[in-house]
Chains A and B, each alone.
Chain A
Amino acid sequence: MAALAGLGAAVGALGRYEITKWVTGLWGNRWPFATLLINLLGSLLLGLLTGWQWGTWPTVIIGTGVLGGFTTYSTFSHELVMLVDQRRYGAALSYGLVSVGGGLLLAALGLMVGLRFVG
């Protein structure tokens, strides 16, 4: 099972790398849009999958694996500290609040919609 989660996570991490390159190319890296987009999208999809209760295998491969590896906490936390380090307090506050608050709201939305697929 751990290997299945690992396979999914490898795919998720590669997706995060490619999307980060693409978004950074579009909007630059002054504000961490890429990580925000990835973490919000991943929270929504994991909420959906969790609400849906699709079974153990898909939950491990797609949930723990792909979406777990796609989203990342360490980069979020590091970017937040770097914004504070650069004394960009407004950017740090907005990035932190939108990531955490938005992640919770989208997870709730995903759980709600996912429950409708059950049965």
Chain B
Amino acid sequence: MANVLAILICGFLGGSLRYWLGEVIPTGTGFPWSLVLINLLGSGVLAWLSHAQRLTAKWPEALTIGLGVGGVGAFTTFSTFSVTTMTLLERQQWGLATVYLMVTVFGGLACSAFGVWCARRWWRLPSVTL
């Protein structure tokens, strides 16, 4: 029950933040910057959170699940990524679609790997008190 409540609250915050960033970040050249930024940032944070056990072990489990599954999980999104890429392809904006796809996939992998690396470094520290 605590997990469900944490997911609902964090999911609400993550989804609202994603909508808000989509509104305030200018699209300018037609390149969907806001979603690239959201998905890359979220990939880094989730990977870090999933491996920072030394820190998360001190929290209630519901908080870790709420932040990961609800917060970052709902902040980032796959469906809009698919539909946006498809829409760019339909408009025959091949270059834009390719760059968007590549930056999201490989940038996301780099951010996830960086998040895991940071957390593993943290893990090696003798003790962390917050």
- Point out residues on A near B: beta carbons under 8 Å: 1-3, 5-14, 16-17, 20, 39, 42-43, 45-47, 50, 60, 63-65, 67-78, 80-82, 84-85, 96, 99-100, 103-104, 106-108, 110-111
Contact of B70 among A7, A13, A50 (CB under 8 A): A13
B25-33, B52-60, B72-80, B121-129 - interface stretch: B72-80
What's the tally of chain B residues with a CB closer than 8 Å to chain A? 55
Which residues in A have their C-beta under 8 angstroms from that of B108? 73, 76-77
Closest CB in chain B relative to A28 CB, distance in Å: 18
A10 to B70, CA, bound (A): 7
| B101: nearest chain-A partner, CB-CB | A100
Please give 9 more A-B residue pairs, beta carbons under 8 A apart, in addition to A73-B104, A82-B116.
Answer: A10-B15, A11-B11, A47-B83, A63-B79, A65-B15, A68-B77, A72-B77, A77-B109, A103-B78
Per-residue contact bits, chain B 1-17, to A (CB 8 Å; 1 contact, 0 not): 00110011111111111
B74 touches which one: A2, A46, A72, A100 (CB < 8 A)? A72
Contact assessment for A72 and B78 in the assembled complex, using a CB-CB cutoff below 8 Å: yes
A64–B22 touching, CB < 8 Å: yes
> A68 with B18: in contact, given A9-B12, A9-B74, A81-B113 (CB under 8 Å)?
yes
- Which single member of B7, B43, B78 contacts A78 (CB below 8 Å)? B43
In the bound complex, do residue B18 and residue A17 qualify as a contact, i.e. CB atoms below 8 Å apart?
no
A contacts with B: majority SS: helix
Listed by A's residue number, 19 A-B pairs whose Cβ atoms lie within 8 Å are: A2-B19, A6-B13, A11-B11, A13-B7, A17-B4, A17-B65, A20-B69, A39-B82, A50-B87, A68-B80, A71-B79, A72-B78, A73-B108, A75-B73, A77-B46, A77-B111, A106-B82, A107-B83, A111-B90
CB < 8 Å: which of A1, A47, A60, A67 contacts B86? A47
**Contact residue among B13, B75, B83, B101 (Cβ-Cβ distance under 8 Å from A74):** B75
Task: Return the contact of B18 from the options A9, A96, A106, A111 (Cβ within 8 A).
Answer: A9
Select A46's contact among B4, B83, B101, beta carbons within 8 Å.
B83
A3 to B70, CA, bound (A): 15
